[in-house]
Amino acid sequence: MTSDEIIKTTAEHTYGTWRFQKGWKPMHIVDAEGCYFYDSAGKKYLDFSSQLMCVSLGHKNKAVIKAIEEQARKLPYIAPGYTTDVRAELSNLLLEVLPEGLQKFYFSTSGTEANEAAIKIARMYTGKYKIISRYNSYHGSTAASIAATGDPRRWLVEPSGKIDGVIFAPECNCYHCPIGHGYPGCGVACANYIEHMIRNESNVAAVIVEPVVGTNGILVPPEEYMPRLRKVCDENNVLLIADEVMSGWGRTGKWFAVDHWNIQPDILTTAKGITSAYVPLGLTATTKKIADYFNDHYFAHGHTYEAHPLTLAPAIAAINEIRKYNLVERSLEMGEYLGEKLIELKSRHSSIGDVRGLGLFRAIEIVKNRETRKPFNTKEDKINGVQLTVDKIAGELMKMGIYVSPWISHFVLAPPLIIEKEEIDSAVGAFDEVLKIADDEVE
């Protein structure tokens, strides 16, 4: 098939996710290596968002590929009721790198499934059913995980496409403070409001949060927020679920984002960087206290691909690669460099309202008016198919060979942890050119 035929067949016979199908013409990608991927015409693109913030080791890491090959030859599949070498080996590695106290693991095939399992476990363990999530969050696309999602992707499947019992709290967003105190924010007002919700709702099983919010803005909480939230949950006998699907595996300059505040969640979910996305793997990790409950209570969850050996082997390799090349420390160092470059960029562009992040997990937020912080577009624009300013800018960046992930009014910058300073300079330089599009529309 020609490249045009491949694109045509794909658009006609497969669904493009989270989009209107009309006019979809997906780019035909034929290769990827390191921090770059290549289209069918041979054009090279710097992958400045690690695809969907997941290819943390860069493309074609030899150790991870070798692990997949060897496991495929040794034992490509066995049912989850059995055990394997890789199941035990990965479990031991997880005990070394996960936040202390997380000691029992459920393996699935996505972050969505990891969160689905977490919500079910929380409900089974506590005997309660309400889940508190936050606005400006994303936890997945299946019934429980989309119900816990605060962004507009939830709106279109209500009421039948989600579970009941999820309620939403204000997000921790110091640039657009939902409590009204404004930047740099009051620190714990949004955490205190969650306590108010717990006491007035009753029957709350768990609070689920992204410690650093991903797609919805790379929102980093103040220092006191996560410790306060942990205390609120403890005092009210509510579980704390940390969704580290995007922020884990060195992305923020720590193994996991909760490590920045020395917080131990009751349940931690993750995926993406656990295998650098070479093979789909999700993880739901719980404390021993939760695990012990199921010694005498039925664990009512599972699926065919749980603990699939072909997904576990590359996770072992990926963790070893992160350690071998000190990529957690490197993420912190290179993230500081990227952060400095973004601050300089902001000084040159009136459309940049805020730059923020931790490690190699950063955001550029554009606004029409810096004083009022008025965004260029809204959530309603996104689901109604209005062309977004961030999409126009992202399109121009692609023409220049730079891929970034846009979302409503910001860009998620999450390059592979192996990125070099010269490549960061190239991406920031491209932004410097194309942000004129937004600058020209500033009020």
Convert the pLDDT of each residue in 326-384 to its tens digit: 999 999 999 999 999 999 999 999 999 999 999 999 999 999 999 999 999 999 999 99
pLDDT of residue 187: 64
Task: Answer for the pair 280, 49: CB distance below 8 angstroms, yes or no.
Answer: no
The pLDDT value recorded for residue 310 is 98
pLDDT tens for 103-145 read: 999 999 999 999 999 999 999 999 999 999 999 999 999 999 9
* Cα–Cα distance for residue pair 256/260, rounded to 1 Å: 8
Handedness of CA 22, 27, 29, 33 (dihedral sign): negative
Classify strands 352-358 and 374-375 as parallel, antiparallel or unpaired: unpaired
Mean pLDDT, residues 417-434 taken together: 98
The confidence score (pLDDT) of residue 334 equals: 98
Question: Where along the chain do its domains lie?
Answer: 3-60+326-439, 62-324
- Which has the closest alpha carbon to 88: 71, 113, 105, 74? 105
The predicted structure's pLDDT at residue 164: 94
Percent of the chain with pLDDT over 90: 96
Fold of 3-60+326-439: Aspartate Aminotransferase, domain 1 (3.90.1150)
The 10s digit of each residue's pLDDT in 85-96 is 999 999 999 999
- Tell me the helices (H) and strands (E) count for the chain, helix number first: 15, 16
- 74-83 pLDDT, tens per residue? 999 999 999 9
> The pTM is what?
0.96
Q: What is the DSSP letter of 166?
A: E
Please give the mean pLDDT across all residues of the chain.
Answer: 96
- Topology adopted by domain 62-324: Aspartate Aminotransferase; domain 2 (3.40.640)
Q: pLDDT-based confidence at 160, cuts 50/70/90?
A: confident
Residue 84, pLDDT score: 98
**What is residue 213's DSSP assignment?**
B
Q: Give residue 188's pLDDT.
A: 84
Confidence of residue 418 (pLDDT cuts 50, 70, 90): very high
